[in-house]
Amino acid sequence: MKIAIIGSRGIPNKYGGFEQFAEIVSALWVDMGHQVICYNPHNHGFEGPYLSGVEIRNIYCPENIIGSSAHFLYDYLSLRDATINECDIFLQLGYQSSAPSFLLFNKSIRSRIVTNMDGMEWKRSKWSPFVKFITKISEKLAVNFSGNLISDNQGIADYVFETYEVTSDVIAYGCNPVDYIDENASLEWLSTTDSYDLVIARLEPENNVHEIITGFIDSGTDRKLIIVGGLSTKYAKDILDTFRCYTQIIFVGGIYEQKKINSLRQNCTLYFHGHSVGGTNPSLIEAMANKCRIIAHDNVFNRAVLGVDGLYFETSADLTEIVKNSFKLIPELDLLRLSNFEKIMNEYRWEDIANKYIDNFQRIISK
């Protein structure tokens, strides 16, 4: 089978969840005997023709000239190139900038487009009303003109069905158990006597970072709070300005070294997951794989993953109470984190996720 992966910011991963997904599953599919092409923006920086057996094709993306609207062109050119290369399956990661171009291809091509619906992108606070409107239209186009839809969370699948009366296959994001630890990972920012809690997220409003920091400070704890996430967005800069006087809040920027970030997870006291928009978030299941004591924002997506195996907050006041009582709650949280680790072993391993996608592709081709 010849598979095209379209819509990511390229591999190797320098950005986020879709890119990590593309890097991992593409290599697994090659190992299974499939031919895989992954599309990268021309300015990604990786110059080799192959990565782990995956063919890399660089496509023009003038984001540095015209901004994020460049991805409409990038996604169209990627899909066109994939059709010229006679791929059997076109795996489209997300729909925001790609779905309008589906209209430019015939039914034979559209029937083999598999769209991962990502989250409810039009609800993200960072978008203007106009961008939210365009994104909502793209969502509808993706539903109507993809050959098949994949939701990485039952909450997303329910939303798609309730909104459009269209079913989607639920295939979660993947993660493998982590069996190493570096107890000195935090010493770049903390002393040996400091204990800390942890947030790993893009600093955007829908990830509730402001609320988490506020609740943490109001608890009066003497632990530190490490915030891992890029600091270039307006929201990030606003948060830095608001909390720079609090020495217990430590902003470390983005970290893409997996061993370092996993070691930070394994050594933290509490892990706060504030994501409120989207499906199965990579940082949440990676926290589960690292046996974190997870405190998650209370929404349908996080509950679809954690179920009863997490503690939840809605407001900063909720989080304050949890942090205040954290040492009383640790025995309960330790049981929950073991249960979450079992979920990783049984439901989220990358090999199983890769196989589920292949099963999905083969059903489409057989039609």
Query: Is residue 119 scored above 80 in pLDDT?
Result: no
Q: What's the mean pLDDT in 37-63?
A: 94
Could you give the strand order of the β-sheet that contains 196-200, starting from the edge strand earlier in sequence? Answer: 249-253, 224-228, 196-200, 271-273, 294-297, 311-313
pTM: 0.85
Query: Is residue 122 scored above 80 in pLDDT?
Result: no
pLDDT of residue 134: 85
**Least confident interval from 13-17, 23-27, 28-32, 245-249:** 13-17
pLDDT of residue 123: 64
Look over the chain and give the mean of its residue pLDDT values, rounded to a whole number.
92
Region class of 176: left (phi > 0), else alpha (psi between -120 and 50), else beta: beta
Region class of 153: left (phi > 0), else alpha (psi between -120 and 50), else beta: beta
pLDDT-based confidence at residue 177 (cuts at 50, 70, 90): confident
In whole angstroms, give the CA distance from residue 71 to residue 39.
12
Dmax of the chain from CA atoms? 63
Q: What is the CB neighbour count within 10 angstroms for residue 242?
A: 13
Any bridge partners for residue 273, and if so which? Answer: 296
Report the sign of the C-alpha dihedral through residues 159, 160, 165, 168, in that order: negative
pLDDT of residue 135: 85
Q: What is the CB neighbour count within 10 angstroms for residue 91?
A: 29
pLDDT of residue 158: 92
pLDDT of residue 68: 81
pLDDT of residue 126: 66
pLDDT over 70 percentage in the chain: 98
Which domains are delineated in the chain? Answer: 2-174+349-366 (3.40.50.2000), 185-347 (3.40.50.2000)
Q: Give tens-digit pLDDT for 83-110.
A: 999 999 999 999 988 999 999 999 999 9
Q: What's the mean pLDDT in 160-170?
A: 95
Q: What's the mean pLDDT in 6-33?
A: 93
Helices (H), 91-208: 99-102, 107-110, 129-145, 154-164
pLDDT of residue 281: 86
Query: Is residue 131 scored above 70 in pLDDT?
Result: yes
Q: Give tens-digit pLDDT for 189-221.
A: 998 888 999 999 989 899 999 999 999 999 999
